[in-house]
Structure 1
Amino acid sequence: MLNAKRVAIIGVFAALAFVVMYIEIPIFPAVNFLKYDPSDILVLLTAFIYSPTVGVIVLAIKDILFFIFKSQDIVGIAMNFAAGALFIVPAAIIYGKKNRFREILGYIIGTVAATGGMALLNMIVVPYYWKIPLEEVFKLLPWIIGFNAIKFSIDSVINGIIHRRVKNILEPDEAKI
């Protein structure tokens, strides 16, 4: 159920994630179109505290805002959304029992799902979008796989550090009863 506090938190975290998306750090200079931004940390935080559905809502809002205000690249933003969802949904579902083992397992499964899923999605989308042969995409795959593995590992470590500190503040009221 969406109460006023949850709606406000969804809005605040989506807005914060949107702003943080402007922090773009190329991980591999050879493929500088792959840029790390820490916005999915905020999305994962809301997914862990509330639910995977709330996380996906925050993810969608931040990506729509970024598309409207900066990128104008529907394919790029759709790929960003797919990567975020592939990471956040399994991680948050596995974490659902809220213990340290399941949290770490969620990070690992989410990172593997996003890394593998994005490798596959890039093989499907990039040849059509960039109008290049699939063989050229295969040359990019090690970079794409490495990028996603690093990106979601960083997101996992940072979320693991901060989510315990803020969960009591943001925790749903029914969980405090």
Structure 2
Amino acid sequence: MSQKTNYGNIDDRHRMTGREKTVRLAKMGMLVAISVVLVYFIHFPIFPAVAFLEYDPADIPILIGTFAFGPVAGVLLTIVTSVVQGVTVSAASGAYGIIMHIIATSVLVIVAGVIYKFNKTRKGAVIALICGTAAMAVVMIGANLIITPLFMGVPRSMVWDLMPFIVGFNAIKAGINSIVTFFLYKRISGFLHRTA
């Protein structure tokens, strides 16, 4: 098993044993728990004019898990975290919140995870996180125009009027979480890849 020293990554393309799979699942479960706890303690509006758009750091553990275990694991982490968060600390947002979280974060981790998978360097991580952030902001324009009127019962024109805030919110949220991920990942990647 080889190790790249430039960004603290371990090549895990070998076939995992049952023990290694169990350890990985346990660590993914830990990342989900951390994500939910972070949302419980940290959530605040970015733009006072649209206070319902709240920043939270839930995507940081998910992004870290994506870099460590790949984009498929990132999507799984996203789904589980979104559901757990949506029925506990963010229950007020209901199914709408769960769906929007799954869409937004899945786009972020798929784009960032795929790019990083093929370029596991600091530069690759930066490019991956920038592209993931941009993709999330763009996709959420369409998601909000289609899904928000259905769940909130508001006209699409009202959602469109709020679009500058929505785009800014998603770009800032994903950007903050990406920056924190970049600085944290190297410090904990060794632990995440350790199988003993």
TM-score, with normalisation over the residues of structure 2? Answer: 0.84
Q: Which runs of 5+ in 2 are unaligned?
A: 1-15
Deviations for 1:85-128, whole angstroms, at most 9, x for unmatched residues? 11111101101121122111111110111000001100111122
Structure 1 residue aligned with 2:34: 16
Output aligned runs, 1:58-77, within 5 Å.
58-70=77-89, 71=91, 73-77=94-98
Report the equivalent of 1:139.
Answer: 161
Identity of aligned residues (%): 34
Which residue of the partner structure matches residue 55 of structure 1? 74
Between stretches 73-82 and 127-136, larger displacement belongs to 127-136
Is 1:20–1:39's contact at 8 Å kept on the other side of the alignment? yes
Equivalent residue for 1:35? 54
Structure 1 residue ranges, 4+ long, deviating more than 4 angstroms after superposition: none
Q: Give distance in 2, aligned partners of 1:62 and 1:21.
A: 11
- Aligned pair count? 173
Are residue 5 (structure 1) and residue 26 (structure 2) matched? Answer: no
Match of 1:91 in 2: 112
The SS at the match of 1:98 is coil
Structure that is richer in helix per residue = 1
Distance (whole Å) between structure 2 residues aligned to residue 137 and residue 112 of structure 1: 20
Distance 1:19 1:164 in 2: 22
**Matched AA of 1:59:** T
Determine the C-alpha separation between the residues in 1 that align with 2:149 and 2:73: 33
Distance 2:50 2:70 in 1: 34
TM-score w.r.t. the length of structure 1 is 0.93
Deviations 1:13-50 (A, max 9, x none): 11111111222111001001100110100000000011
SS of residue paired to 1:167: helix
Q: Indicate the RMSD between aligned Cα atoms, in angstroms.
A: 1.3
**3-state secondary structure, aligned to 2:52:** coil
Partner residue of 2:125 out of 80, 90, 103? 103
